Amino acid sequence: MNRQEKSTKNIFLLALTALIWGVAFVAQSVGMEYVGPFTFNSVRFLIGGMVLLPVVMMSRKEKGVETDSQDGKQRVLVLGGLCCGMALCVASCLQQIGIGYTTVGKAGFITAMYIVIVPLLGIVLKKKTTWLVWISVVLASVGLYFLCMTETLSVGRGDLYVLACALVFSVHILLIDHFSPKVDGVALSCLQFLVSGVIAGVAALIWEQPDLASILAAWAPILYAGVLSSGVGYTLQVVGQKGVDPTVASLVLSLESVFSVLAGWVLLGQGLSGREWMGCGLMAVAIVLAQIPASNSVSTGVQ
């Protein structure tokens, strides 16, 4: 498989991740009717980690005896799992808390601001970014505005929570970009879930009163969020981001906002307005532009 084919495959995996996450908004909304944000995230991430654990164990068994090089990779894996897990936990919990104080439309738009924050952070990290990617960022931002914003934008407590969530999600994307080429993607995904689940669990015990009855009442949305959104979705993100520019990856992953609207239309009977369809169209154009090879475009000169 040549480099272009691999890149196309990885972009497809990221788009599939966005689809799974978009549909997960329905599951998360229903699940929050039964349990608090820390409890929901703790259970979903622990389930996600447990689903992947057998896969990781079988993979390790097939590889056999570890070498010094593999020992070094294990240390990188542990460090990556801790860093990615903490970032994932903080971002997810900030999002869940923020939704409780603001509207879903505003939360969706502000969360997706990571498509703007990622390239800005990339400049600090001296990552190369092309003009076409910057144009895509602008188009995607405008598209997300038309897609998600249905009321007058104002800055409130919930908005600030979700804005902080977008910032931490941007850090998470860059952490994945740093660690995923160096370690096994499935193992990294499994470890970050377990770390995130434990941290959220501790927070749930401190600030919430989780009980088995409430968790069982939310079994369907929790299983979707745990198995598909966490176990499958975040693993596809880790694997798909290998060799893909983090700014491009963030643009593809931001399609979750488009898919969430489509999921609401199909599953909940919520129709799309002309404004929302315009937002979907602008997002699609942004994704296409972002895929044009850098050799055919002019670089910003940021190294």
Per-residue tokens: 253: 């992953």
Query: Does the pLDDT of residue 198 top 80, yes or no?
Result: yes
Give the start-to-end residue ranges of the domains of the chain: 3-62+87-292
pLDDT score, position 8: 82
Model pLDDT for residues 279-289, shown as the tens digit of each residue: 888 887 887 77
Instruction: Please compute the mean of the pLDDT values over residues 136-153 and round it to a whole number.
Output: 77
* DSSP state at residue 176: H
Query: Does the pLDDT of residue 192 top 70, yes or no?
Result: yes
Q: How confident is the model at residue 303 (pLDDT cuts 50, 70, 90)?
A: very low
Model pLDDT for residues 35-49, shown as the tens digit of each residue: 999 999 999 999 999
Model pLDDT for residues 212-250, shown as the tens digit of each residue: 999 999 999 999 999 998 888 877 888 888 778 777 887
The residues, any chain, with a CB within 8 Å of residue 274's CB and separated by 6 or more, are none
Which pTM was predicted?
0.82
Buried b (16+ CB within 10 A) or exposed e, 119-154: bebbeeeebebbebbbebbebbbebbbbbbbeeeee
Helix (H, G, I), strand (E, B) or coil at 299: strand
